[in-house]
């Protein structure tokens, strides 16, 4: 079930290509010994664009999910970033230019338009390199639907939307795993070498990051006949990823390790078995990370308590926060839970907050429109 | 999917009973607040025996499974302990007498016939108490098919076989979870309060122990259409559980914790998805426990290497050792792997060893014969 990739983006071939095509010199590949599955090697053939313009969307993501700290994440539907990408003769061939950044809040002003300092730009350049694009220049505009530093995978959504846009404008040659690698380059510069946002942003659903070298991702399918709603409550509070990471313990006791590992196993089982009650319990059960981070987010403990009292199956911090995430199987119930959580943020943390109720996104980054050549 | 039970064996009612039957005084129950599911409460009604004698079997178990340390185990078919239990007018009513212990190796001589010091005896007494048996005495004979201290759940197999025998002779009133609690009493006295052997010994298949208070177990079904063979290689070497436990690190780094947790998640996913390759990889990936324990078992590193080179999907220490466990999907292949592992134990550890190839046991403890009244 796992999909694997050695972290060697320069050795990439579209999986849709016949395996023997255009390998000018196989003996030069020097495959590393740990290279085991989904062999994927770049050709020198430059693909032609199939569209003159595309618009893509990539969803917000909830990483960590309590005991899934640093290796588990999932995508949430209906909120995320958009990228519009155009073949642009004004742009130097092989390069990408960011023409516009728009969006809610102040996220648009905070982001650089220099592509090598912008999440979407870095991912776009990485995919262009993988595809060996030398003859076509691209212009990119980014529409932020996600606030920065919210714990909802804002940077990953931009990177995912850009990666899929570049891939699709040239015919969708690269498999998802290569797009995750491109997104990882972006994440590494912006928030650390972690795939738990970028992988679900690209692939949708729940994704477990089993290893980085080689990159190996395990999609976990939540049963299609069951509903899963996330109540996302985002307070007006900045919780910088760095500070949240500094709060983590360096050493963990064996009993806490065993506890959290067993909850991680239970979390994975609950996703695959569609057991929402078990999912919520496991989500709420982290004894290692949440107890260190929650005190840094004013009101978080009360917010979690309010969510559970209002009938949520579980609640924890989304990503590195400050957004709180609760789960339920009913949209209306989700709105009630959200109201209680917003009240608790105000009452106990003196923070304004907004609640959203969103379903699991099972698709991941995708094109929303395109103009054929 | 989880089955739960507050750790209060005195509050047990057979789940097969109508819920309102024979509760002489409901208000005396004082249910604890964390009591959430599978309510199970003892009645004062003493069940009649339905058989004059029964013979039961409980399988060997592989606990830990690498990154599943202390919370995951599974049962292996065709090797285990037998208990023969008889209604015995010679035995004081409400008590159990151990009449005989037989078996391979020296296990029979090492075990006490005093029921309060014997795994099978403790579990039998515990089930008799749960059932409120006061009018009937039982005699028990134990046939050990498992060596002691092998890492194959020897004590759990005895306890499981005894627990199910007592329950069945009185009509099978108690649910599996109560039998696990009875077995846990036994395990607590013999090898520590751990359910990762006793739960699969009673329930079969893979079982994840999510919590102890309340006891909550998550059965993980390996797909029925897939084969899973365990290669169990038991060297002539004593690895006392205590020493193996003392070898464990007290503190764990965050990076090792995240690694092992993600492997635990991957292990659970692989079981539920029937992904043998992923299962083997996760099984082999423990960075916390195996690296400390393997050096205490002469030749273990070489045995693991030999197993993997011979084509096993994965290999680790079974329980606290010294048995090595490898996995494959083919019985014949399993025998070849076993031979290589035996050779490695001799070549690198100077230890004689025997190999067995056994399938996953999906049933758990069961009656093998009975004599009706």
- B245 part of contact set with chain A, CB < 8 Å: no
- pLDDT for the residue numbered A110: 83
- pLDDT for the residue numbered A3: 61
Q: Quote helix, strand, coil % in chain A, to nearest 5.
A: 35, 25, 40
- B67 part of contact set with chain A, CB < 8 Å: yes
Which chain B residues are closer than 8 Å to A210 by Cβ?
Answer: 262-263, 266, 278, 281-282
- pLDDT for the residue numbered A148: 85
Contact yes or no for A141/A32 (Cβ under 8 A): no
Q: How far apart are CA A220 and CA A210, in angstroms?
A: 12
A234 has which bridge partners?
Answer: A354
- pLDDT for the residue numbered B239: 75
- pLDDT for the residue numbered B17: 29
From first to last of the 373 residues of chain B, give the pLDDT tens digit.
556 554 433 333 333 322 222 323 333 333 333 333 344 444 568 999 999 999 999 999 999 999 999 999 999 999 999 999 999 999 999 999 999 999 876 666 788 999 999 999 999 999 999 999 999 999 999 999 988 888 999 999 999 999 999 999 999 999 999 999 999 999 998 878 899 999 999 999 999 999 999 999 999 999 999 999 999 999 999 876 678 889 999 999 999 999 999 999 999 999 999 999 999 999 999 999 999 999 999 999 999 999 999 999 999 999 999 999 999 999 999 999 999 999 999 999 999 999 999 999 999 999 999 999 8
- pLDDT for the residue numbered B105: 64
- pLDDT for the residue numbered A143: 96
Q: What mean pLDDT is reported for chain A?
A: 88
pLDDT in tens, A87-136: 999 999 999 999 999 987 666 678 899 999 999 999 999 999 999 999 99
- Is A241 noted as a catalytic residue in this protein? yes
Give which of A285, A267, A172 is closest to A218, Cα–Cα: A267
Q: How far apart are CA B174 and CA B182, in angstroms?
A: 11
**Nearest 5 degrees, angle CA B58-CA B61-CA B67?**
160
Give which of A40, A60, A15 is closest to A360, Cα–Cα: A60
pLDDT in tens, A269-304: 999 999 999 999 999 999 999 999 999 999 999 999
A251 vs chain B: nearest CA distance in angstroms?
Answer: 5
Within 250-289 of B, beta carbons closer than 8 Å to A belong to 250-254, 257-258, 260-270, 272-273, 275, 277-278, 281-282, 288
Q: How far apart are CA B284 and CA B304, in angstroms?
A: 9
* Closest partner CB to B218 (pick from A72, A251, A269): A269
Give the helix/strand (H/E) hosting B107: helix B107-110
- CB A278 to CB B252 under 8 A? no
Residues of chain B above pLDDT 70, percent: 86
Q: How far is CA A314 from CA A66, A80, A126, A300, B201, in A?
A: 10, 23, 38, 14, 31
The interface predicted TM-score of the complex, written ipTM, equals 0.88
Q: How confident is the model at residue A43 (pLDDT cuts 50, 70, 90)?
A: low
- pLDDT for the residue numbered B21: 27
- A32 part of contact set with chain B, CB < 8 Å: no
Q: Report whether the peptide linkage leading into residue A322 is cis, meaning its omega lies within 30 degrees of zero.
A: yes
Judge whether residue A21 has pLDDT over 90.
no
- CB B257 to CB A258 under 8 A? no
Q: How far apart are CA A3 and CA A216, in angstroms?
A: 6
> Mean per-residue pLDDT for A307-316?
98
């Amino acid at each position: 079930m796992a999909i694997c990739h050695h972290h060697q983006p320069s050795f990439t071939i579209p999986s849709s290509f016949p395996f023997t095509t255009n390998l000018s010199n196989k003996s030069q590949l020097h495959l590393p010994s740990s290279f085991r599955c989904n062999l994927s090697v770049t050709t020198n053939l430059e693909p032609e664009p199939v569209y003159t313009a595309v618009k893509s969307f990539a969803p917000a993501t909830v990483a960590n999910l309590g005991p899934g700290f640093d290796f588990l994440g999932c995508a949430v539907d209906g909120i995320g970033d958009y990228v519009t990408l155009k073949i642009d003769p004004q742009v130097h061939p092989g390069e990408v230019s960011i023409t516009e950044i728009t969006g809610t809040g102040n996220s648009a002003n905070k982001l650089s338009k220099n592509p090598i300092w912008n999440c979407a730009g870095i991912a776009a350049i990485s995919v262009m390199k993988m595809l060996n694009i030398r003859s076509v220049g691209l212009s990119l505009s980014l529409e932020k639907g996600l606030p920065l530093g919210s714990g909802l995978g804002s940077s990953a959504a931009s990177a995912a939307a850009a990666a899929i846009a570049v891939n699709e404008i040239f015919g969708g040659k690269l498999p998802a795993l290569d797009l995750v690698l491109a997104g990882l380059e972006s994440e590494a510069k912006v928030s650390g070498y972690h795939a738990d946002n970028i992988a679900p942003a690209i692939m949708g659903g729940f994704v477990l990051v089993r290893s980085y070298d080689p990159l190996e991702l395990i999609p976990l399918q939540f049963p299609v006949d069951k509903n899963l709603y996330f109540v996302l409550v985002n307070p007006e509070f900045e919780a910088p990823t760095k500070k949240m990471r500094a709060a983590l313990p360096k050493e963990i006791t064996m009993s806490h390790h065993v506890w959290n590992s067993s909850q991680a196993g239970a979390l994975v089982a609950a996703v695959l078995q569609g057991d929402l009650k078990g999912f919520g319990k496991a989500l709420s059960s982290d004894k290692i990370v949440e107890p260190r981070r929650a005190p840094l987010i004013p009101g978080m403990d009360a917010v979690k308590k309010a969510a559970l009292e209002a009938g949520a199956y579980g609640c924890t911090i989304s990503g590195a926060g400050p957004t709180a995430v609760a789960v339920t199987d009913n949209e209306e119930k989700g709105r009630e839970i959200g109201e209680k959580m917003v009240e608790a943020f105000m009452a106990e943390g003196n923070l304004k907050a907004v609640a959203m109720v969103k379903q699991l996104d099972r698709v991941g980054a995708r094109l929303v429109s395109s103009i054929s050549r």
